[in-house]
């Protein structure tokens, strides 16, 4: 092997790279050459990593040189960066080959196995399309009249996004451009700006493109036409962004603190703001070593952001996860990297050069007249700090601090990184109990109070703060006796939680002998495994969106069946409730462009989108029908508001059962979500046609109270304890009586105070996050169903959510 040229495959997809290598090895008929893979950020996350490419080159280099083949876009940029990171001796033996990945790899592998040198291997790979071109003819090209070069195409579009080309739409534009073999320039025609490269996120952002501005593009290269078409289509889809973004304003705190995640926590106040990083005047080492040091740090941060994006997409949704695309692109930004490289070449250390380059870029963002775009300077600074901390081990971060975290608000990224073993509680000036960051914290079991007001930001670091996330109360620097009493309450709660966890696998039976199954809401196979460990009696909600979001095409029946089967296996044969695809409106699918809606929460989403594209729903239902022959399965339709919708969905289910090729599965149950007030009010009519209802209190609350759960300004209004919401649950249970069972799968079900109340309203089962199972079961065991009915009657007559909470506290 030492006498042969090594090959490296760089691809955004690890699965694609492995398949291409397997195909190439089939052509070698037993000959051995070294083919290393640098693909994907992990087995499921698309992306490329320069540090991974360096490792692959090192593994493939046995003295005869290495030919690197890449798929497209940032794979080329990552390979170029990796080349810079190699030592001079190795770099001289590496060729970045422009060949098509699959054809080029096969030809290169055969040539290398035959003993060809590195130049010949690269040349053979580059000419790999010759056979196909000879058979089909050369692809048509667009040239200048004199035929000397590719012609330049031009086009323009008007930006309709409320905040112009800010981070997310600009990131989508850059991704579109990088996915083609083309050179693209862009300018703001409205402001008569200069031209900048459309490959650079930072250059686009500094154009200050606002809503209503006209943008002009100039494109050349072999795929100029495809690139222009893609950009114009993307602009017509508003860069995959809803047009309902709120106008820029300072966040508004609710009128009073709100308990957003139950529990008690006490400890020293810790600011979520990271301490400034000290950039010491340390002499630079060799410039190649400094550049390599920076490249390694960028690779570490890229992997971290990629993993966080995947987790956020799975737990929160693709729309929220897309902000990390902009962060990733900043790490590859040519303008920033050229600036930093020039500083390193002039003798600065990697730390000093990166710090100065980020500072310059952030200043350019801050200078943009539009306040929303100018605020993106914070994004630049945040990504810059991540890289600096990767180069400076030991830099303190907010995540390592122990105590009560105090902040204006947290991003989902920050919330996702918090360790419940170190963070006793979170106290936020603003925020909403229904915001995604709070949902994450609740899933982690961290007590949270939101809407605490701006005064908490002035709490001195280290001051003792006690937080009651159940009641929405907090105390700053309490007297010793109060502090001791609170610590005793924390200890008592910890003991109760320990007891609850010890009996989590046991059934939840009320004091008077009524069994209430407690299931889990899951959004992945890993979630299902966690649910089994936490004692789930069933899966009350399997969110199938994670299979469809962030990919260029829908999963087929076999892929869906494989994942659903793994979820069922993880729960060891217990019933799983598969909710059909619940996207659309505010959660668009990449492969299914939809018309922008003025109010996506009231638009084409859930079952409405599925019925508009019945082939998509039909495939999913076939997978469910096939699974139902193997294990107990319930299928649940989301966002049902009319009988016609339910009937149409059931007809598709009947067709799917026929396509599955067997009789109707005996264990298959059919149900619907109750998320729309109309569904609750018409429960009697629906109940004759379903086996069960599942009340989604998150959406039902926002629709019933006209309070957007993502809007901090109305956070206090959208309270699931409001008597109006309780009436809708009670109406659903009365309508279902004798025909269908009723469970609750919204966040409300995981509030331990609500367990007895929901039982009293007539709910048969609860489904919560895996970590809330133990506590919910314990709350059920503490209830008496007859007393719960009496208490529920009182709560239905209450005047407000606050009155309901107060009465529940008194009833303990």
List 436, 534, 730, 733, catalytic entry? 436
Measuring CA to CA, how many Å separate 731 from each of 545, 644, 684? 29, 21, 9
SS3 state of residue 785: helix
Give the separation between CA 51 and CA 295, rounded to whole angstroms: 7
57, 25 Cβ separation under 8 angstroms: no
Greatest Cα pair distance, the chain, in angstroms, is 91
Q: Give the DSSP H/E element, type plus range, for residue 673.
A: strand 668-674
**Could you give the CA distance from residue 511 to residue 72 in angstroms, rounded to a whole number?**
63
Q: What is the DSSP string of 108-164?
A: HHHHHHTT--HHHHHHHHHTTTHHHHHHH-PPP--B-TTSSSBPPEEEEEE--STT-
Query: Could you give the CA distance from residue 389 to residue 301 in angstroms, rounded to a whole number?
Result: 9
**Bridge-partner residues for 37, per DSSP?**
9
Structure tokens at 470: 């159940």
Q: Are 521 and 768 spatial neighbours (Cβ–Cβ below 8 Å)? A: yes
Dump the DSSP string for 185-214. EEEETTTTPPPEETT-HHHHHTT---TT-E
CA distance linking residue 190 with residue 186, whole number of Å: 12
Answer yes or no: 436 catalytic. Answer: yes
How far apart (Å, rounded) are the C-alpha atoms in residues 619 and 652? Answer: 10
Residue that the structure tokens 């915001």 belong to = 435
HSE-up of residue 233 (Cα within 13 Å, Cβ side)? 13
Go through 164-175 and write b for each residue having 16 or more CB atoms within 10 A of its CB, e for each that does not: bbbbbbbbbbbb
Answer yes or no: are the C-beta atoms of 397 and 282 closer than 8 Å. Answer: no
What size, in residues, is the chain?
812
Beta-bridged to residue 695, according to DSSP, are 674, 744
689 is catalytic: no
Is 377 in contact with 383 (CB distance < 8 Å)?
Answer: no
Q: 432 in the Ramachandran plot: left (φ > 0), alpha (ψ -120 to 50) or beta?
A: beta
Between CA 745 and CA 579 the distance in angstroms is: 11
Beta strands in 697-780 (DSSP E): 741-744, 765-768
- Which among 34, 97, 733, 745 is annotated as catalytic? 745
Cβ pair 253, 712 in contact under 8 A = yes
Reference 427, options 485, 386, 381, 468; nearest CA is: 468
Tell me how far apart the alpha carbons of residues 57 and 158 are, in angstroms, rounded to a whole number: 45
Q: Is 137 left (phi over 0), alpha (psi -120 to 50) or beta?
A: left
Residue in the structure block whose two tokens are 């170190």:
422
Nearest to 445 by CA among 768, 60, 142, 117: 768
Alpha carbons 771 and 37: distance in angstroms, whole number: 38
Closest to 538 in 3D by CA, of 516, 501, 578, 571: 571
- The residues annotated as belonging to the active site are 436, 745
């Amino acid at each position: 092997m030492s006498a042969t040229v090594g090959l490296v495959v760089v691809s955004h997809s690890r699965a694609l790279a492995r398949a291409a290598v397997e195909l190439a090895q089939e052509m070698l008929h037993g000959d051995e050459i070294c083919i290393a893979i640098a693909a994907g950020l992990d087995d499921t996350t698309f992306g490329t990593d320069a540090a991974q490419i360096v490792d692959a080159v090192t593994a493939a280099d046995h003295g005869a040189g290495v030919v690197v083949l890449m798929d497209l876009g940032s794979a080329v940029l990552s390979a170029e960066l990796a080349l810079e990171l190699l030592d001079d001796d190795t770099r001289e033996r590496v060729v970045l080959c422009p060949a098509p990945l699959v054809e080029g790899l096969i030809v290169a592998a055969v040539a290398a196995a035959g003993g060809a040198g590195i130049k010949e291997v690269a040349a053979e790979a580059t000419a790999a399309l010759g056979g196909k071109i000879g058979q089909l003819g050369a692809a048509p090209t667009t040239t200048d009249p004199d035929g000397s070069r590719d012609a330049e195409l031009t086009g323009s579009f008007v930006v309709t996004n409320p905040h112009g080309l800010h981070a997310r739409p600009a990131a989508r534009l850059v991704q579109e451009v990088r996915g083609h073999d083309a050179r693209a320039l862009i300018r703001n025609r409205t402001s008569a700006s200069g031209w900048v490269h459309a490959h650079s996120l930072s250059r686009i952002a500094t154009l200050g493109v606002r809503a209503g501005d006209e943008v002009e593009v100039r494109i050349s290269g072999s795929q100029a036409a495809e690139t222009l078409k893609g950009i114009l289509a993307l602009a017509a889809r508003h860069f995959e962004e809803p047009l309902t973004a709120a106008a820029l304003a300072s966040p508004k705190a609710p009128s009073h603190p709100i308990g957003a995640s139950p529990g008690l926590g006490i400890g020293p106040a810790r600011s979520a703001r990271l301490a400034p990083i000290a950039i010491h005047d340390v002499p630079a080492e060799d410039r190649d070593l400094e550049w390599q040091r920076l490249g390694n740090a960028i690779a570490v941060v890229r992997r971290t952001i990629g993993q966080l994006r995947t987790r956020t997409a799975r737990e929160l949704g693709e729309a929220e996860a897309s902000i990390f695309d902009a962060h990733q692109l900043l790490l590859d930004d040519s303008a920033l990297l050229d600036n930093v490289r020039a500083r390193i070449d002039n003798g600065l250390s990697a730390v000093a050069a990166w710090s100065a380059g980020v500072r310059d870029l952030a200043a350019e963002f801050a200078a943009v007249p539009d306040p929303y775009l100018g605020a993106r300077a914070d994004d630049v600074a945040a990504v810059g700090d991540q890289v600096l901390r990767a180069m400076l081990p030991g830099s303190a971060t907010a995540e390592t601090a122990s105590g009560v975290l105090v902040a204006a608000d947290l991003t989902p990224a920050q919330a996702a990184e918090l360790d419940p073993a170190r963070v006793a509680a979170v106290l936020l000036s603003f925020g909403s109990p229904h915001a995604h960051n709070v949902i994450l914290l609740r899933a982690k079991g961290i007590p949270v109070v939101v809407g605490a007001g701006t005064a908490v930001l002035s709490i001195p670091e280290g001051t003792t703060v006690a937080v009651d996330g159940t009641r929405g109360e907090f105390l700053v620097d309490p007297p010793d006796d109060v502090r001791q009493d609170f610590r005793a309450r924390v200890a008592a709660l910890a003991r109760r939680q320990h007891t609850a966890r010890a009996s989590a696998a046991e059934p939840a039976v009320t004091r008077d002998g009524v069994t209430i199954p407690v299931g889990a809401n899951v959004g992945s196979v890993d979630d299902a495994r966690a649910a089994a460990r936490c004692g789930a009696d069933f899966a009350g909600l399997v969110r199938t969106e994670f299979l469809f979001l962030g990919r260029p095409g829908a999963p087929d029946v076999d892929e869906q069946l494989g994942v659903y089967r793994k979820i069922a296996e993880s729960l060891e044969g217990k019933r799983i409730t598969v909710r059909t695809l619940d996207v659309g409106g505010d959660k668009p699918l990449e492969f299914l462009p939809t018309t922008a809606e003025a109010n996506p929460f009231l638009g084409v989403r859930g079952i409405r989108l599925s019925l508009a594209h019945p082939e998509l729903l039909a495939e999913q239902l076939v997978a469910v029908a096939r699974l139902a022959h193997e294990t107990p399965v319930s299928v649940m339709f989301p966002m049902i508001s009319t009988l016609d919708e339910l009937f149409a969905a059931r007809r598709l289910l009947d067709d799917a059962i026929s396509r599955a090729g067997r009789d109707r599965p005996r264990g298959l149950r059919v149900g619907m979500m109750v998320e729309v007030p109309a569904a609750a009010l018409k429960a009697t009519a629906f109940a004759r046609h379903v086996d069960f209802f599942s009340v989604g209190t998150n959406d039902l609350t926002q629709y019933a109270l006209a309070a957007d759960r993502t809007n901090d300004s109305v956070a206090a209004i959208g309270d699931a304890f409001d008597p109006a919401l309780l009436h809708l649950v009670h109406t659903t249970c009365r309508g279902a009586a004798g025909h269908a069972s009723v469970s609750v799968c919204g966040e409300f079900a995981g509030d331990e105070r609500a367990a007895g109340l929901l039982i009293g309203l007539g709910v048969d089962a609860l489904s919560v996050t895996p970590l809330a199972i133990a506590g919910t079961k314990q709350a059920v065991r503490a209830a008496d169903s007859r007393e719960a009915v009496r208490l529920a009657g009182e709560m239905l007559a209450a005047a407000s959510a606050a009155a309901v909470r107060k009465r529940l506290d008194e009833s303990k």
